[in-house]
Amino acid sequence: MNLDQQARAILRGNDKGGYTVPTHGLYPYQWNWDSAFAAWGFSTFDVPRAWDELDTLMASQWSDGMVPHIIFHQDDPGYFPGPDVWNTGQTPPTSGISQPPVAATMARQIWEVDRDAGEARMRALFPKLLKWHRWWHEFRCTHGPAAITHPWESGRDNCPDWDKGMEGVDGSGVGEYTRRDTGHVDASMRPKKEEYDRYITMVQFGVKVGWDQARIVAEGPFLMADPGITFILLRGHEDLAVMGRALGEDVSEIEGWTHQLRNALPLIWNPELRAYDAKNLLTGEFAGVLGSGAFMAYLADASNPELDAELLRVWDAVNYGIPSADPEASIFDPRRYWRGPSWPFANALMAIGLRDAGRDDLEERLRRETAALIEAHGFYEYFDPIDMTPCGGADFTWTAAIWLTWAGKDVAETHQKGAA
């Protein structure tokens, strides 16, 4: 099988019927942003299945508008923390936090493949996406930029951006639990035990307040502004507004959010770092460390020459793709999850931004380097950006998806598709 065929086989193999697991074993449920990328991948060979994926995701939207980060369709003892730990009372059970809102941007990519076929599907999805974006503003943008109440909400779980906020979480009373992730993947590639104690403590806090999102923001142990989600949400608003206008919907509320979020960007610009930076909203302190979330700025047309220089500095310090943490900082750990590795799907997301920013040279470089990782080792979750070592889960859905949509294509081909 060639790589295109392998990628399609991975998507089909991870398809549980209406939803796709990120990979068997390590992540046996439906994850929010993984699912949006799965939909994008399906759109290259089965457009109706792509829309189905987004429908299944949005079907678990909470009544307050939140779309949860995990949907536990069927129990699986191989994952911790499972539905009994989250205890959110939803049917099917879900986690109690959200994840980066890439679904509108992925919906737009799918809609662009065939607008006529997508019209009815998008019309049905539009009010749900709108409600979810409203939820971000009501419950997470209370301080201006988009904030997270748990590192898992950022999707970039253990990246250094959250270290300062994590210091404020006391994980000592967490009690006994057994991790399952390290039974599937080498422990040196996963977050550490001290981090897990705090992750679970934050889940326990949510349970304690009955997953009341306003209380979690006001009283919870962790609240940090996330540049990554801020830019992804801004971009999502723009994509949603484009589709809304084409459908004849009123998009003035979306335009208002866009305006608000853009005005909040100076709050996450750290002049000392010369980059966007995460900020601990409980103390007002910047994270003080350059993370991959900052480079999502390209997605939202929010880059500038200082950020361009930082991007090239961290990128030139490695060989394959944009690293998830600064290789010149002491916290860099090239194989540990979000503390250094290159993530193909994150490269693909940044590439959409680079292309829109007119940086075709950088997009092409990123595509070549990402493709080289997959060509050498297959569809792993993430890779050592210096020596290509494949890390995390194998046969990963979003790595297969971005091969089909971007990394495995000629750039000329993807441009043509984007313009169609």
Q: How far apart are CA 283 and CA 164, in angstroms?
A: 10
Shortest Cβ distance from residue 250 to ligand DGY (Å)?
A: 35
Q: Is 152 in the site for ligand DGY (CB under 6 A)?
A: yes
Tokens of 141: 């943008």
For ligand DGY, the closer of residues 69 and 355 by Cβ is 69
For ligand DGY, the closer of residues 45 and 80 by Cβ is 80
Tokens 């979330």 correspond to what residue? 293
For ligand DGY, the closer of residues 69 and 128 by Cβ is 69
Size of the site for ligand DGY (CB under 6 A): 4
Q: Under a CB-based contact definition with an 8 Å cutoff, are residues 159 and 232 in contact?
A: no
Q: How far apart are CA 119 and CA 406, in angstroms?
A: 24
Q: Is 153 in the site for ligand DGY (CB under 6 A)?
A: no
Catalytic residue among 4, 55, 157, 255: 157
Q: How many residues does the chain have?
A: 420
Shortest Cβ distance from residue 401 to ligand DGY (Å)?
A: 17
Q: How far is CA 60 from the centre of its chain?
A: 18
Nearest-CB residue to ligand DGY? Answer: 152
Site for ligand DGY in 244-263 (CB under 6 A): none
Q: Is 132 in the site for ligand DGY (CB under 6 A)?
A: no
**DSSP states along 56-77:** HHHTT--TTS---SEE-SS--T
Q: How far apart are CA 174 and CA 189, in angstroms?
A: 23
For ligand DGY, the closer of residues 115 and 192 by Cβ is 192
Active site residue 157: yes
For ligand DGY, the closer of residues 232 and 307 by Cβ is 232
Q: Under a CB-based contact definition with an 8 Å cutoff, are residues 187 and 335 in contact?
A: no
Element (H, E) at 383: strand 382-383
Active site residue 381: yes
Per-residue x/- marks for ligand DGY, 34-73, CB under 6 A? -----------------------------------x----
Shortest Cβ distance from residue 132 to ligand DGY (Å)?
A: 18
Q: Which of 46, 138, 157, 255 binds ligand DGY (CB under 6 A)?
A: 157
Shortest Cβ distance from residue 149 to ligand DGY (Å)?
A: 13
Tokens 């390590």 correspond to what residue? 26
Closest by CA to 45, choosing from 408, 401, 348, 344, is: 401
Element (H, E) at 275: strand 275-276
Closest by CA to 126, choosing from 224, 250, 234, is: 250
Q: Which of 34, 52, 181, 384 binds ligand DGY (CB under 6 A)?
A: 181
- Catalogue the active-site residues: 157, 381
Site of interaction with ligand DGY (CB under 6 A): 69, 152, 157, 181
